[in-house]
Amino acid sequence: MKEKTRKKKNLTLGLMPTRRDLAGEYFCSVEAALARKRATEEKLRSLGVRFVNIDFLNEEGLIKNGADAKLVFQRFQDLGVDALFAPHVNFGCEDAVAKTAKLLGKPVLLWGPRDDAPDFMGNRMTDSQCGVFATGKVLRQFGVPFQYMTNCFLDDPIFERTLSNFISASQVAKSFKGMRVGQIGVRPETFWSVKCNELQLLERFGIEVVPMTLIELESRYKKALGEKERVIERSQSYQARYGIEVEPESLSYMAAMQNAIEDWADEYGLESIATSCWGEFRQIGGIQGCFLFSELADSGLPVACETDVHGAITSAIAQAATRFESSVFFADITVRHPQNNNAELFWHCGNFPPSCAYCGAPSSFSASSGSTISSSFDGGIPGTGKSRLKDGEVTISRFDCAGDDYSLFFTTGKVVEGPATTGTYGWIEFKDWPIVEHKIASGPYVHHCSGVYGKVAEVLHTACRFIPGLRSDPVDPSGPEIEAFLR
């Protein structure tokens, strides 16, 4: 069967170029402003950016009067704009930008093209940088968070770097606000560390937790088990794609459970899931849930174990930071490497997505190549994955809180070799592991985290700017290092 991949959430950028309402022969030349507007649009197209402009507003397609803010806001709202980019093609109109941004309530990127040198008479044509400074002040007055792009030419590397970071951060903000997290069952009694304040999440961030009882899960599972054709098709897909170390009959149970959860998630529009796992899934279907969680993660629906709602939120954030290009692995942070003082074992019973699996030759560091459907280490129950993380750079993150102080911890590392173990695992090396260790132990974080391949620390840091009430808490790179990178 063709495995289901959840639809990627495209981001639409609202392009709102602005000019000063002057039309001098040289200073504030309309022709120069229009040339800069056209060049900016062409650059966005060349980068594959999905955007809508304001050509509807007037014959120039430039905003130059604060009275037009409501018109632009309404247009952008109707077109589903997710973020606002306001190039100042000359000095610009500060109140028009600030009013539109305030009405829209979306992430804002502020930029002015680098001005040309004065001519031989000392005349200047645009003064875009000066206008951007003015707009930044007014945005602060309006209480509008924004990202500032260094004054640069369109072909400068910083333009593409900052724009890409902004779009990814805006994707995180879009996914975060109003997120719907599925919760299956209740947390294990002894897992106090994964408690959360559901009402506060709703009031503070608009995050809704959608529960499903285990009785309902069992009902949905039995219904799915009776849909023989779907079950057979998915079971055969497992056999075609993975090593199999369990009885064929158990594959049918896994397939039915995956179908049941997937259908529920689609029905309720869920971004991620936090679920009870080992005991409940064994009782309902005679299986572990781990492997089917890995399959759901690779379809774009990350699943957090032990009913860790904050873990499910973290996973949705991490996935959005990659613009849904990378799957999330949800891990326990377990033991230090026996020889490498800066490496740590990231492990869980068998839920890491197969796309994250190492596919090289088996060795003392990896019991197998690729992903295998196996049985649990604590009773031989079928339904766990077995694989080692593939090599590469990763970003580890955790959303959590203490009282009403919510923060997002993140740091970068790389997968290295280490002793083989059960389930799904990977040894990850950091620049200075004890700093990370102390950060986690001191809280408000726990032993659960979400990982994605690639460097998205800068994205996560910027995204926190656009999510009021969420504090950025980076380790490596540090906050100052991220800010320097984005300058």
pLDDT in tens, 148-157: 999 999 999 9
Question: Is pLDDT at 469 greater than 70 in this prediction?
Answer: yes
Same-domain check for residues 416 and 373: yes
Q: How far is CA 346 from the centre of its chain?
A: 20
Q: What percent of the chain has pLDDT over 70?
A: 93
Question: Is pLDDT at 242 greater than 80 in this prediction?
Answer: yes
Same-domain check for residues 39 and 138: yes
371 assigned to some structural domain? yes
Question: Is pLDDT at 25 greater than 70 in this prediction?
Answer: no
Q: What's the whole-number mean pLDDT along residues 441-462?
A: 95
The C-alpha atoms of residue 148 and residue 487 are separated, in whole angstroms, by: 9
Q: For residue 122, what pLDDT is reported?
A: 54
Quick one: pLDDT band at residue 377, thresholds 50, 70, 90?
confident
- Give the CATH number for residue 296: 3.40.275.10
Same-domain check for residues 343 and 383: yes
Same-domain check for residues 127 and 233: no
7 assigned to some structural domain? no
C-alpha closest to that of 154 among 19, 242, 39: 39
Same-domain check for residues 117 and 222: no
The C-alpha atoms of residue 391 and residue 166 are separated, in whole angstroms, by: 28
130 assigned to some structural domain? yes
Question: Is pLDDT at 124 greater than 60 in this prediction?
Answer: no
149 assigned to some structural domain? yes
Question: Is pLDDT at 209 greater than 60 in this prediction?
Answer: yes
H runs (alpha helix) in 109-156:
128-141
C-alpha closest to that of 394 among 335, 330, 443: 330
C-alpha closest to that of 388 among 354, 413, 412: 354
171 assigned to some structural domain? no
Same-domain check for residues 59 and 94: yes
Question: Is pLDDT at 131 greater than 90 in this prediction?
Answer: no
Query: Which of 139, 155, 171 represents a domain boundary (last residue)?
Result: 155
Q: For residue 123, what pLDDT is reported?
A: 59
Regarding predicted confidence, which is higher, 18 or 3?
18
Count of other CB atoms within 10 angstroms of residue 23: 13
Same-domain check for residues 127 and 200: no
Q: What's the whole-number mean pLDDT along residues 442-464?
A: 95
Q: For residue 116, what pLDDT is reported?
A: 73
Q: For residue 443, what pLDDT is reported?
A: 82
- Give the CATH number for residue 85: 3.40.50.1070
Non-local CB neighbours of 378 within 8 Å, separated by 6+ positions = 278
150-163 burial code (b ≥16 CB/10 A, e <16):
ebbebeeeebebbb
Same-domain check for residues 204 and 60: no
Q: Any idea which of 142-156, 186-200, 265-279, 400-414 has the lowest mean pLDDT?
A: 186-200
Structure tokens at 293: 């969680």
* Mean pLDDT for all residues in the chain: 91
Q: For residue 125, what pLDDT is reported?
A: 59
Q: For residue 366, what pLDDT is reported?
A: 54
Q: What is the pLDDT of residues 291-329, one digit of tens each?
A: 999 999 999 999 999 899 999 999 999 999 999 999 999
User: Rg of the Cα trace of the chain?
Assistant: 25
CB 365 within 8 A of CB 420: yes
Question: Is pLDDT at 387 greater than 90 in this prediction?
Answer: yes
Question: Is pLDDT at 362 greater than 80 in this prediction?
Answer: no
- Name the one residue in this structure whose structure tokens are 């993380």: 389
Residue 148 DSSP symbol = E
Regarding predicted confidence, which is higher, 441 or 130?
441
Structure tokens at 53: 């402009």
The C-alpha atoms of residue 95 and residue 104 are separated, in whole angstroms, by: 14
The C-alpha atoms of residue 190 and residue 194 are separated, in whole angstroms, by: 10
The packing angle between helices 214-225 and 228-241, to 10°, is 90
Q: For residue 439, what pLDDT is reported?
A: 94
Same-domain check for residues 259 and 129: no
Query: Which of 119, 140, 155 represents a domain boundary (last residue)?
Result: 155
Q: For residue 174, what pLDDT is reported?
A: 95
1 assigned to some structural domain? no
Question: Is pLDDT at 79 greater than 90 in this prediction?
Answer: yes
Question: Is pLDDT at 7 greater than 90 in this prediction?
Answer: no
- Name the one residue in this structure whose structure tokens are 């750079």: 393
Taking the whole predicted model, whether its pTM rises above 0.75 is answered as yes
126 assigned to some structural domain? yes
Q: For residue 29, what pLDDT is reported?
A: 79
Angle, CA of 129, 134 and 140, to the nearest 5°: 125
Domain count, the chain: 2
Same-domain check for residues 394 and 467: yes
Same-domain check for residues 295 and 443: yes
Q: For residue 363, what pLDDT is reported?
A: 54
Q: For residue 483, what pLDDT is reported?
A: 93
Same-domain check for residues 109 and 27: yes
175 assigned to some structural domain? no
Q: For residue 333, what pLDDT is reported?
A: 95
Q: What's the whole-number mean pLDDT along residues 134-146?
A: 94
- Structural domain harbouring 286: 180-485
Q: What's the whole-number mean pLDDT along residues 459-472?
A: 96
Quick one: pLDDT band at residue 369, thresholds 50, 70, 90?
low
